[in-house]
Chain A
Amino acid sequence: MFYFLLGFVLLFLNNDLSKAVITLMNVIIILVPLIGTIFGVMYYYNSKEFTELLLGQPIKRSSIFLGQYSGVALSLSMSLILGLGIPFVLYGLFQSDMIWDFILLIVTGTFLTWIFTALAFNIALYNENKIKGFSYAILLWLFMAVIYDGLFLMSLILLDDYPLDTLSIGATMFNPIDLSRILILLKLDISALLGYTGAVFQKFFGTNFGLLISLSALSVWVVLPLLNIFRKSRKKDF
């Protein structure tokens, strides 16, 4: 519902598909992780009683938690895809050449939803205390969305004298938000804004190989927290 309204409002304000996609990118990059994190943590704590009820029943532990996770992640991604998809389709997305950019945007948005919901579940599993869990989750989001960039930038300034291509690409891989942002920016061909770094990134991410690597990095970001949910849920006491 939220995404749906957002899509319409953006289209009305911009009156142009490609501009709307760019605005949308900014929103997706920041808001999607936040929504994923908050909903993930909230859902876990809210369904705690339910989980305890299920644990007494003949059900595998991992299927309880993975089921809950996929329930949240799937419904969030569906709302993202439908909410953004419907207004854009109504606006004539299929007739425009923006369609691939839009699809990439949706795909990365979905990835971000899955990643941050999984991270949120991890945080909730480790913290019995709701308030603590919530704060950690928000801190995580803040770190990934804002602080990481700052640190990254500082390191670039401090290490000014060295060639930084590999470092910056590597550092980008370690933050799913950055990774998605750069992926979309390059796809939208506004990499010239990024200057020299942009050229380096373009060389790396612009190719199919780079796209493949980035998408697999995003997948790793989904799989690792999921495995940890699996591992932790086996050992946890209720």
Chain B
Amino acid sequence: MIRIEQLHKRFGKNQVLKGVDLDINSNGIFAILGPNGSGKTTLIKSILGMVIPDSGELLIDDKSIKGKWKYRDEIDYLPQIANFPANLTVKELVAMIKDLRSRPGDDERLISLFKLEPFLDKKLSNLSGGTKQKVNLVLTLMFDSPIIILDEPTSGLDPIAMIHLKDLIAEEKAKGKIILITSHIMSFVEEIADEIVFLLEGKVYFKGDTEALKLQTQESNFERAIAVLLSRDNV
């Protein structure tokens, strides 16, 4: 369970989060949407404790995460930009992360699923963007944690990997997990998300399922409905 109350965060002059309230009680897939710079990544990084909020409460399983770190064992996080230490090989990196979590991971299945075997002994700096993203996915999804956070999981993936990703996400959902996803690919979001959380100018602007969104905006097309949400504010 994730509960966020009145979360504020400012970077210099830029007030990114202006009182985000969010309650995630049930399991399922939650898509966090919003225009560029609306604070999606900041919100996610706050949940992970990588960004320290200026004010507000963040509770995971009814416990405040302030100054804590053990709770991160419950979370699998896929960073938006796959920044890896360049001088490690894929194999070493996987082994290291497994060692850090000190529990077994499901890495072999994922590696064969994404056909990463030929890259195992290559250095991470020599991988292409899409391959890096696949490694990123393996690192994130190999553990069986109750909360999964994916920041732009689709970036750079080829269609086959995309299908695998969707299958994997559905699989994890079936295990009764909370999955948070940000993405700019609306068809992807519409296909997998149970609920939409729309961030605009540092606040939660809309929260509900896709049907409710279409109803509210009186649009039958999901992508258009999102566009309406975006443009309404500009009028």
Contacts and interface: CB of A to CB of B under 8 A. Distances in A.
Contacts of B52: 234-237
A58 B70 contact: yes
A55 B49 CA distance: 8
Contact of B11 (A54, A56, A59, A237): A237
A129 interface: no
A202 B158 CA distance: 74
Contacts of B49: 55, 61
Contact of B50 (A48, A56, A234): A56
A95 interface: no
> How big is the B interface, by class?
20 to 34
A47 B85 contact: yes
A236 B11 CA distance: 11
B156 to A, nearest CB: 17
A59 B69 contact: yes
Contact of B83 (A52, A58, A60, A234): A52
A56 B100 contact: no
A38 B77 CA distance: 33
Nearest to B85: A50
B83 A55 contact: no
Nearest to B48: A56
Contacts of B71: 58
Contacts of B79: 52-53, 56
B119 interface: no
Contacts of A237: 11, 45, 50-52
Contacts of A49: 83-86
B101 interface: yes
Contacts of B101: 57-58
A209 interface: no
B72 interface: yes
Nearest to A47: B85
A238 interface: yes
Interface string B1-17: 00000000001000000
B97 interface: yes
A58 B76 CA distance: 10
A57 B72 CA distance: 6
B106 interface: no
Interface string A47-82: 111101111111111000000000000000000000
A58 B48 contact: no
Residue among A52, A57, A61 with max Cβ neighbours from chain B (10 Å): A57
Interface of A: 47-50, 52-61, 234-238
User: What 10 pairs between A and B have smallest CB-CB spacing?
Assistant: A49-B83, A58-B73, A58-B72, A50-B85, A56-B77, A237-B51, A238-B50, A60-B69, A55-B50, A57-B100
17 contacts: A48-B83, A50-B85, A52-B50, A52-B83, A53-B84, A55-B50, A56-B77, A56-B79, A57-B97, A57-B100, A58-B69, A58-B70, A58-B71, A58-B73, A59-B100, A237-B45, A237-B50
